[in-house]
Amino acid sequence: MIYALFLIWVAVSSSSAQQFYDPSGCSSDTSNQGSRYTCDSAQQPCRTFLVFRANQHFGHQNLLNISALFQVESDELLDLNNIASPLETLKRGREVLVPINCSCSGEYFQASLSYIVSERTSFPEIACGVFEGLLKSLTLLQENPSQGTDVETGVKLDVPLRCACPGGFARFNGVKYLVTYPILEGDGITPLSMKFSIAPEDLLAANHLEPKSTVYPNTTVLVPLKSDPVINLNVPDSPPPTPGFLPTITVEKTKNTKLRKLYIAGSVVGFFLIVVALLACGFYVKAVKKWKGERLQSFTDRNSVLSCSTARSSPRSGQTGRSSTNSCLSPDLLAGIKFSLYNYGIEDIKRATNDFNEDTNKIGEQVYRGLIDNESVMIKQMRFEDTRQVIDMHSKINHVNIVSLHGVCYGENDFAWSYLIFELPTNGCLRNCLSNQANRLSWRRRTQIAFDVATILHYLHYCIFPSYAHMSVNSRNIYVTSKWRAKLANIGSTLAISASTMNDKVVTVNGLVAPQNPMNEAASVKVDVFAFGVVLLELISGKEAAQGTFLKDSIRFLGGGANEGGCFEQLRSFIDPCLKNEYLIAEALCLAILAKACLEDDPLRRPSMDDILKVLGRMV
């Protein structure tokens, strides 16, 4: 389970960024994410580069001094930086490319050097001055713990410079080098990307930065390059930042008493208007509450068993049905309703469904499409004893990703059958959207739908008490709105149960067997996680859930054994061909690995909806 979640994290992180940027300065005594670039012990060392600036103050005014500091051959620096002689005095601040060997040491990448102190100094002076912020002073202190605050002359220090090697996904995207670049005052993302002839988006992604992010002096960034590095020295430095204050101008104080009185009068009038507006709002809220209370009382009286002589059709249509106690809500049922619910007559339902026409209106088992007041609705026939459970559940929840319950109707002669009226989202069920070749579902819409379904399952598992297992999550119970957002149906049905009441069982979900061990409240919701994994496979492949065993077998290559190239080829062959190449391979891999984790035979090894939501939240 941990391995699967780790793979998910790597896939998503690698699709958006290589390493994290640390905004704290070189001399900061805090260690943040990005203070050192992290690595996996399995990663191989690499040859990469860093940028160093000529500085006469520390005696690094030519390539001979710089090559000695970084322990490289001066001839190599000559060819790399197009400089004629190693003794040529460089202009102050002239940027020099320096080749380094970068390797993984423990958890971090580093280029290991040694430095002999020439005069009594401090760690910040060495890290931020001599090495120009290519490592933090805290890192230098941690690497040399035996030294005190001040460093004496002749002491030999171990210097772990910041560096990084491209990971698997970076190499897959063609990145050859990650060049360490120290930021000075005036540097910015745009001029830096121009200096290395790369897109600003690539530079932001390599450092896990958002658009319009600020980079600060005495920090470092990684520059992703797909070819050997070349610095364009003709790019001007960024202008210094705008000062945070404006110069003040002395103005002679005026003594315009009329203007002062006008200001005072305006303030008094404004305050009076605000008080009046607040009082009006208070009276309005009070009146609305009173009206709602009278409306509910009238509704209850009109539909009680003792005084029920007429049954309403939809109050919105203004039509009246025939007199029958069988078309009314009982007081017990009304006691559990916490929201406004319409009471429809049986004639309304027949008219909406063309008298339950199975050829044109039936869309599922005991489910019909209908039209009431020019609004498409979904009408579900169910037994009377199940109706209260559904209504009670909908009275306790309020979520945008749940198909809304509009009203209820009872049968003509007895309470054996009743009908619940739900909204019908414009684009129908997810299964039909995936099967529609004429209007194919784009990759971006598929990831959004996955996120929406995860959001509502997270709500049912964590945000209501007791936590609630849906037990019937599938592509035919997920509906898609006109804006391509997902809504979950069948909330409160007999298949869905309270998590605390689930016993041992083997559940069949979309053609796949989801074995269950003895469950406590936390583990029972893993049935929904299993079903969500099947929905993810449908979103990726476009195939019908009835082929569940086939879908699960199709991603066995994610269990290991295939090389990186073979893994991607098998994944591409699994992805819905309707998508062509209009998807991100890293996101597709992430969803496939997430689906595989959800389909674990052991329920306790499946991720929680909280884990799933965190992963999908990085895609939308």
pLDDT of 306: 27
* Helical packing angle, 564-574 and 585-598, nearest 10°: 80
563 has pLDDT over 90: no
DSSP letter (8 states) at residue 376: E
Q: Give Cα 225 distance to the centre of its chain.
A: 28
Candidate from 28-42, 104-118, 119-133, 453-467 with smallest mean pLDDT = 28-42
Candidate from 56-65, 110-119, 123-132, 586-595 with smallest mean pLDDT = 56-65
Candidate from 23-37, 85-99, 134-148, 536-550 with smallest mean pLDDT = 536-550
Mean pLDDT of 558-587: 80
Q: Select the more confidently predicted residue: 327 or 189.
A: 189
- Quick check: 143 and 162 in contact, CB under 8 A? no
pTM: 0.49
pLDDT of 246: 39
Q: Select the more confidently predicted residue: 454 or 395.
A: 454
- Quick check: 531 and 509 in contact, CB under 8 A? yes
* Contact residues for 221 (Cβ-Cβ < 8 A; gap 6+): 21, 181, 183, 192, 203, 206, 207, 215
Q: Select the more confidently predicted residue: 171 or 265.
A: 265
161 has pLDDT over 60: yes
DSSP-derived secondary structure for 85-98? -TTPPPPTT-EEEE
Using a pLDDT cut of 70, give the percent of the chain over it: 78
For residue 483, the tally of other CB atoms under 10 A from its CB is 10
pLDDT of 352: 93
- Quick check: 177 and 149 in contact, CB under 8 A? no
User: What tens digit of pLDDT does each residue of 575-598 get?
Assistant: 999 998 889 999 999 999 999 999
Mean pLDDT of 415-432: 90
Kind of pairing between the strands at 486-488 and 417-423: unpaired
248 has pLDDT over 90: no
pLDDT of 365: 85
- Quick check: 446 and 539 in contact, CB under 8 A? yes
Mean pLDDT of 101-128: 92
Q: Select the more confidently predicted residue: 150 or 182.
A: 182
pLDDT of 509: 57
pLDDT of 294: 63
pLDDT of 415: 62
32 has pLDDT over 50: yes
pLDDT of 253: 45
| pLDDT band at residue 516 using 50, 70 and 90 as cut-offs | low
pLDDT of 398: 86
498 has pLDDT over 60: no
For residue 105, the tally of other CB atoms under 10 A from its CB is 14
pLDDT of 320: 36
10 has pLDDT over 90: no
Q: Select the more confidently predicted residue: 333 or 469.
A: 469
* Contact residues for 576 (Cβ-Cβ < 8 A; gap 6+): 434, 540, 541, 542, 543
- Quick check: 313 and 421 in contact, CB under 8 A? no
pLDDT of 544: 82
3-state secondary structure of 412: coil
Using a pLDDT cut of 90, give the percent of the chain over it: 46
pLDDT of 261: 80
pLDDT of 238: 47
